[in-house]
A and B are shown apart, each in its own frame.
Chain A
Amino acid sequence: MRTHLLGLAAFVAAGVAYPFLFPSVLTIAITILLFVGWATAWDVLGGWAGQVSLGHAAFVGLGAYFVAIGVTEYQLAPWWSALLGMAVAAALAFAWGWLTFGLRGPYFTLSTIAFAEILRLVAINEGWLTGGATGVFIATLPEPFGLDLFARQTQYWLALAFAVLVIGIVLALSRARFGYALRAVREDEDAAMAAGIDPKRTKLKAFMLSGALTALGGGLYGMVLSFLEPHVLFYLLLSVQIALTAIIGGRGTIWGPAAGALVLIGAGEVFRTTFAEANLLIYGVLILVIVLFAPRGLVGEATRRAIRRRYAKRAQS
């Protein structure tokens, strides 16, 4: 636990120092931080509770659209509409989980794809609400305490706060009763039930938390983009990217998703300049390498090695 708290402190320190060191490359840093938050939030459900979702773009889109429509149609401040978006995301996650957590194995994963896809079709076709396929444009944002929410500088601090908040929650979770319940359900539902844990309720709570946090990041993403298109926000590839970030970094570990975001979005950016729009190639290659040679993910594999070394040393002395 102390190492993790030290890690969090180091993360915050690096995050605070970054804009002073590289004030001109903030957009990529914002993207990385958003993915740190999303992948960590995804991991609550996908890693800790073991339910692989390929529909988290639905929550990103929901959060973004709530902020955009709130500002443009109802003059609602983005922080209120983000909260509203989180509540709706949690409600949807509850309804969805309640319907599908009876399904085991690949069926849940398949159903999440259909879920996000249906939301995307609604966003495209219900133009009166969402601006349809052309999208919504956020033209004005309020200025709380004189802060310009369109400025990359402000958005960077918000993204950093978002990432730290999500990691902090997961850190607290890892030591809480609920965190243990999640892991128990992941390992063996029947055994968890025998220990007095309700698997469905536990998974539902994880799904709601995961969805609400993802929607919060989505609201922020909406302001960063300021132009929202359903093809981007509810897209299957965004769901896939979020899930793969967490998996490549290491599922069910505290720092895995963050490490995954750093490596993947960083590498993705290098690829974007060389391979133009084919930047997802790196995800494809990396996922194969990870699945074949490091099935626990980067951080998972590193921890295992470290633990092994420690035991080997102890055995020698």
Chain B
Amino acid sequence: MLDLAIFIQNLANGLLIGGVYALIGVGLTLVFGVMRTINFAHGDFVVLGMYGAVLFDLVFGFDPYLSLLIALPVAFVVGMVVERAILAPIAEAPAESSLLATLGLSLIIGNVLLLTFGGEPRSVQVPYASDTVRIGEVNLSIVLLAAGAATTAMIGVLYWFLERTERGRAVRATAENRLGAELVGIDTRRVQSFVFGMGTALAVTAGVTLIPLLFATPTFTGAIFTLKAFVVTVLGGLGRVGAAIGGGLLLGVVEVLGASYFLSEYRDAYGLLAFLLVLLLRPEGLFGKTVKRV
């Protein structure tokens, strides 16, 4: 028999985890929407955020969230430099070139981390790791709530930026129609490196919020998050920010509910199966309106 309190508990946990997935997916989908590049290094940027927080903890010993003050601007600049140095020169090449370049980038990031930090899993212990807030019958972990709050704040800022600022309008215009954007005087090359910087910053934020919850390993964790980001964006529909948020929340809920009511060992498979079903039946995504095959 389904216990309602446990169900709500699972649902809440799923939504909070899903929020972080959404944050990862939004970065990927933004980059895809503007640059038509599938960024295979996206998960590795998440892991970079995790290791950034680990390093911050080792050096200063403050709360990992404070590391965002340094990590965010650094990630943004690194993203812009990567775009300028690697992706911009091959913008005219066939679509696979950028996919391969980011794949190479992913291997480099993972292996450099492996050389620097070693292969054993790392995490940051926070004093409030096992604290919970009790609402009725439901216990919510502080760490998850903090992750949820950080995610909401980041996505809120992103929405404000995209909808309310001139630069954000330029980003949306470039995503919608590059040639049109160029015709009205938008420097789409600058928009591209800007967006890649934003995508990197979003991924790093997600990594920092996840480090009190999860262990990071240099090469393996990145691949997992890249895969999750793909699942999230394809679930929603590639290239749409709102759809990635929906996809992220859905993936979180599917994973947590699937793991607690079916076979828990297949936790990662539920997301993949959902991904495959959507890919095969509705390649435009669950929340997509038009059939547009890339």
| Interface residues of A, Cβ cutoff 8 Å to B | 52, 99-100, 103-107, 109-111, 113-115, 117-118, 121, 124-125, 236-237, 240, 244, 247, 275, 277-281, 283-288, 291-292, 295
Contact = CB atoms under 8 A, between A and B. Distances in A.
Interface of B: 38, 86, 89-90, 93, 95-97, 99-101, 103-108, 110-112, 114-115, 119, 219, 223, 227, 230-231, 234, 263, 265-266, 268-269, 272-273, 275-276, 279-280, 283, 293-294
B108 A285 contact: yes
Contacts of A107: 234, 279, 283, 293-294
A79 to B, nearest CB: 33
B89 A287 contact: no
Given A125-B265, A237-B219, 4 more contacts: A287-B100, A291-B90, A291-B100, A295-B93
Contacts of B100: 244, 247, 287, 291
A284 B82 CA distance: 14
Nearest to B95: A105
A111 B277 CA distance: 10
A99 B100 CA distance: 24
B269 A121 contact: yes
For the complex of A and B, 7 pairs with smallest distance between CB atoms: A284-B107, A287-B104, A284-B108, A281-B111, A278-B111, A288-B104, A125-B265
A107 B96 CA distance: 12
A27 B89 CA distance: 40
A295 B98 CA distance: 11
Contacts of A287: 100-101, 103-104, 107
A287 B40 CA distance: 13
Contacts of A240: 103, 107
A124 B269 CA distance: 12
Contacts of B275: 114
Contacts of A288: 86, 101, 104-105, 108
A292 B90 contact: yes
Given A103-B279, A277-B119, A291-B101, A121 B112 contact: no
A54 B53 CA distance: 31
A284 B279 contact: no
Contacts of B273: 118
13 contacts: A106-B95, A106-B294, A113-B227, A114-B276, A121-B266, A240-B103, A277-B114, A278-B114, A279-B111, A287-B101, A288-B86, A288-B104, A292-B86
Nearest to A288: B104
A111 B272 CA distance: 9
A121 B268 contact: yes
Contacts of A285: 104, 108
Contact of B105 (A99, A284, A286): A284
Contact of B101 (A106, A115, A275, A292): A292
Contacts of A52: 96, 99
